[in-house]
């Protein structure tokens, strides 16, 4: 049986369905639009006429777009079909790639994001992500000329002023907040995923990972709730460290959340400033932390503190150094200090680093293997596990 179907559409409808940039409105299509469908079969030939109403035209137009409100409160429309994405925020490219299940749509990201991908597991999971351009991004500034060369369908994770300028150039640009949820690593990541849902329409991954993170949180909280106040470890987050500077996490940064979630005391909690805060060795001596956690935003390694190899600082009298309780945070999909796809693994790692006896039953390497298998269907190699929990200095953002 042979069927021949031909459709004749008026110019108004063709334009309204051709792309999101059309300026035609529903009122422009008030004239009835006719679609003629002719069908031939071996039995008979018949024709029918269908009239598409103004309402149906409007529905067809809206089906090509999504409307959502970004974290700055700006309502915007984005294409339903998004093939080219530029990501501004350092920590946003990795969770977005995981959310999308690949990196081929991410055509641009910050150099610091690329460096983490090259030195972590993300680049091995999605090697196409390593082809992303970085020239549009310079020290936090967006080069509009270079950005426009990438021809993005959307730009995700930029500041409010940057987003406004990019939207003025005709490209949807969204603000995704890092601070809106008080630097709570789990809640912040959950809200990032909700933003991705609003932009892309949904992902089965979101519900699974957030539920698991909450389960891990509850399990850790149950154990640390038995600690007496005097038994809680005093932790210092070494966010960045060189011969020129030393910074830590005060109350207004993610280090506070990691400590709160694992029953530790952040020695920098009295610092109210947002983001990392500058300190010196005199302050370290005063705090005398039991545990020091070094992020992957700095090249410093535990051995640098054990051997006093950075500047003229002497760490030998600090309890964490004397007791060999200085640890470098893992680097899996991204630098684990920030919220991300590895958060439930990092929670368990952090808890065991601070309270090794209390979490003696937690094998963090096996936790990572199981997590990547269950959520990403990836069998981590021994080398990948080793690199994850012993990340190189080259992975730092600086």
pLDDT tens sequence across 219-260: 999 999 999 999 999 999 999 999 999 999 999 999 999 999
Residue-wise pLDDT for 177-193, tens only, equals 999 999 999 999 999 99
Judge whether 247 and 297 are in contact, CB under 8 Å: no
Per residue in 319-364, pLDDT tens? 999 999 999 999 999 999 999 999 999 999 999 999 999 999 999 9
Domains 65-206 and 216-395 share a fold: yes
Is the sign of the CA dihedral 166, 168, 173, 174 positive or negative? positive
Which of 135-144, 287-296, 300-309 is least confident? Answer: 135-144
Which of the four pLDDT bands, split at 50, 70 and 90, describes residue 116?
A: very high
Residue 345, both tokens: 């693994």
Domain regions of the chain by residue span: 11-62, 65-206, 216-395
29-33, 129-133, 285-289: which range is least confident on average? 29-33
Query: What per-residue confidence (pLDDT) applies to 208?
Result: 75
pLDDT one-digit tens code per residue, 138-162: 888 999 999 999 999 999 999 999 9
Contact 199, 180 (CB under 8 A): no
pLDDT of 38 > 60? The answer is: no
- In this structure, are residues 47 and 135 in contact, taking their beta carbons and an 8 Å threshold? no
Q: Is the pLDDT of residue 57 over 90?
A: no
Using the predicted structure, report yes or no on whether residue 13 has a pLDDT greater than 50.
Answer: no
User: In the beta sheet, which residues pair with residue 156?
Assistant: 87, 174
pLDDT in tens, 381-398: 999 999 999 999 988 876
Look at 105-109, 203-207, 270-274, 301-305 and tell me which has the smallest mean pLDDT. 203-207
Q: Indicate the CATH number of 216-395 among 3.65.10.10, 3.40.1010.10, 3.40.50.1980, 3.30.1360.30.
A: 3.40.50.1980
pLDDT at residue 46 greater than cutoff 80: no
What is the percent of the chain with per-residue pLDDT over 70, rounded to a whole number? 83
Per-residue confidence band for 52, with pLDDT thresholds at 50, 70 and 90: low
For residue 206, the model assigns a pLDDT of 59
> Looking at residue 209, what is its pLDDT?
81
Q: 330: Cβ–Cβ under 8 A, 6 or more apart, which residues?
A: 336, 342, 345, 346, 349, 368, 388, 389, 391
pLDDT class of 59 with cuts at 50, 70, 90: low
pLDDT band at 12 (very low <50, low <70, confident <90, very high): very low
Rounded Cα gap, residues 92 and 76, in angstroms = 20
Fold of 65-206: Rossmann fold (3.40.50)
Q: Count of alpha carbons within 13 Å of 74, Cβ hemisphere only?
A: 17
Confidence of residue 279 (pLDDT cuts 50, 70, 90): very high
Q: How many residues does the chain have?
A: 398
Give the predicted TM-score (pTM) of the model. Answer: 0.82
> To the nearest whole number, what is the mean pLDDT of the chain?
85
Is pLDDT at 10 greater than 80 in this prediction?
no
Give mean pLDDT, residues 34-55.
44
Distance CA 177, CA 190 (A): 12
């Amino acid at each position: 049986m042979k069927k021949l179907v031909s459709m004749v559409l008026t110019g108004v409808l063709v334009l309204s369905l051709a792309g999101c940039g059309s300026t035609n409105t529903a009122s422009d299509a008030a004239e009835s639009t006719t679609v003629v469908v002719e069908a031939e079969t071996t039995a008979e030939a018949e024709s029918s006429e269908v009239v598409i109403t103004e309402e149906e035209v409007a529905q067809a137009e809206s089906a090509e777009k999504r409307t959502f409100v970004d974290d700055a409160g700006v309502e915007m429309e984005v294409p339903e079909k998004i093939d080219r994405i530029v990501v501004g925020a350092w920590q946003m490219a990795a969770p977005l790639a995981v959310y999308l299940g690949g990196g081929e749509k991410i055509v641009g990201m910050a150099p610091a994001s690329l460096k983490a991908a090259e030195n972590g597991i993300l680049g091995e999971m999605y090697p196409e992500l390593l082809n992303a351009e970085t020239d549009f991004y310079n020290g936090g500034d967006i080069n509009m000329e270079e950005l426009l060369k990438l021809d993005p369908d959307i730009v995700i994770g930029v500041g409010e002023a940057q987003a406004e300028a990019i939207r003025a150039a005709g490209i949807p640009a969204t603000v995704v907040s890092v601070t809106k949820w008080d630097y709570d690593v789990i809640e912040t990541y959950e809200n990032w995923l909700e933003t991705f849902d609003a932009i892309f329409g949904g992902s089965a991954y979101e519900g699974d990972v957030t539920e698991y993170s909450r389960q891990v949180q509850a399990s850790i909280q149950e154990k640390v709730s038995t600690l007496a106040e005097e038994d809680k470890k005093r932790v210092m987050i070494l966010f960045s460290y060189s011969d020129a500077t030393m910074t830590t996490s005060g109350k207004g940064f993610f280090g506070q959340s990691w400590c709160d979630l694992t029953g530790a005391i952040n020695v920098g909690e009295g610092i109210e400033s947002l983001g990392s805060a500058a300190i010196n060795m005199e302050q370290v001596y005063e705090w005398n932390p039991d545990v020091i956690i070094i992020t992957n935003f700095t090249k410093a390694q535990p051995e640098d503190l054990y051997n006093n190899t950075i500047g003229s600082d002497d760490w030998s009298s600090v309890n964490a150094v004397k007791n060999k309780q200085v640890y470098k945070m893992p680097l899996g999909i991204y630098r684990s200090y920030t919220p991300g796809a590895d958060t439930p693994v990092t929670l368990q790692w952090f808890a065991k680093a601070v309270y090794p006896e209390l979490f003696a039953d937690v094998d963090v390497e096996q936790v990572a293997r199981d997590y990547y298998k269950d959520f990403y269907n990836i069998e981590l190699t021994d080398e990948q596990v080793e690199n994850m929990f012993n990340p190189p200095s080259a992975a730092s953002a600086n």
